Amino acid sequence: LPGIVRRDKDGPADGMIPVGFSSWTRGVSGRIRLPGLIHPHEVMSARGPCRILRDALADGTLTRGASRTPALRALRGLAGVFAAFPADLGVWGSAAMELATGRPYTHDESDLDILVEPRGAAGAMEVAGWLRAILDAEAEFGLRIDAELRLDNGRGVSLKELMGEGKTVLGKGELDVTLLDKNTVFDSLSNDNHNR
């Protein structure tokens, strides 16, 4: 049964992994979504966002399904653009579930959830280029793209929020969310700690 690791609002349970399960079919009220906790020995296999996209590109899954929905078309286009950037692109959410299972998780109104993992040091110019590519894809394919930038400490920040107004950004960790100073985030990105 495929699931996605999630943040648990109640904090970590002893040795358990918080996971979310979702149906690919949608009823009047949307999808059936079930939170759960599983023990690590119950996990048959696991793949991260970048691995899911790499696998889908390598085995042709994304190419075969890319015309089905705007989210998959946008992902295919972004994968091509990001191939020239010093960053790895990953995918999660409904597009990741579709690529991993072959089930039709995306639909015409699906948004796209992506992850950007820098390879090496990155400055404001690189980050602005990544965001420009994402905004161009939003306009071209007519959908919302939520892009999270992975920091070297494992936290993720919204790329749009990082490049927007304000002095702080939400940093999402495995177990919590905290406010981060944008200057600290850019200092972290400029260090060459992103060798993946």
The pair of structure tokens assigned to 98 is 């579709």
- In terms of residues, how long is the chain? 196
Predicted structure pTM score: 0.86
What is the pLDDT at residue 10? 67
Angle between helices 93-101 and 70-82 (to 10 degrees): 90
pLDDT in tens, the chain (196 residues): 788 887 776 666 788 888 888 878 777 777 778 888 889 999 988 899 999 999 999 998 888 766 789 999 999 999 999 999 999 999 999 999 999 988 999 999 999 999 999 998 898 899 999 999 999 999 999 999 999 999 988 899 999 999 999 999 999 987 778 899 999 999 989 886 554 4
What is the pLDDT at residue 32? 79
What is the pLDDT at residue 4? 80
- Going by C-alpha positions, the residue among 73, 87, 79, 76 that lies closest to residue 150 is 87
Q: Are 175 and 7 in contact (CB under 8 A)?
A: yes
Q: Are 98 and 112 in contact (CB under 8 A)?
A: no
What is the pLDDT at residue 28? 76
Q: Which residues contact 134 (CB under 8 A, 6 or more apart)?
A: 78, 114, 145, 147, 159
Q: Is 181 helix (H, G, I), strand (E, B) or coil?
A: strand
- Going by C-alpha positions, the residue among 106, 99, 132 that lies closest to residue 25 is 106
Query: From the DSSP assignment, how many helices (H) and strands (E) are in the chain?
Result: 7, 9
Q: Is 97 helix (H, G, I), strand (E, B) or coil?
A: helix
Q: Which long-range contacts (CB under 8 A, 24 or more apart) does 127-135 make?
A: 127/159, 127/162, 127/163, 127/186, 127/189, 128/163, 129/85, 130/82, 130/85, 130/87, 130/159, 131/159, 131/160, 131/163, 133/78, 133/81, 133/82, 133/85, 134/78, 134/159
Residue holding tokens 């820098």? 118
What is the pLDDT at residue 195? 46
Q: Is 50 helix (H, G, I), strand (E, B) or coil?
A: helix
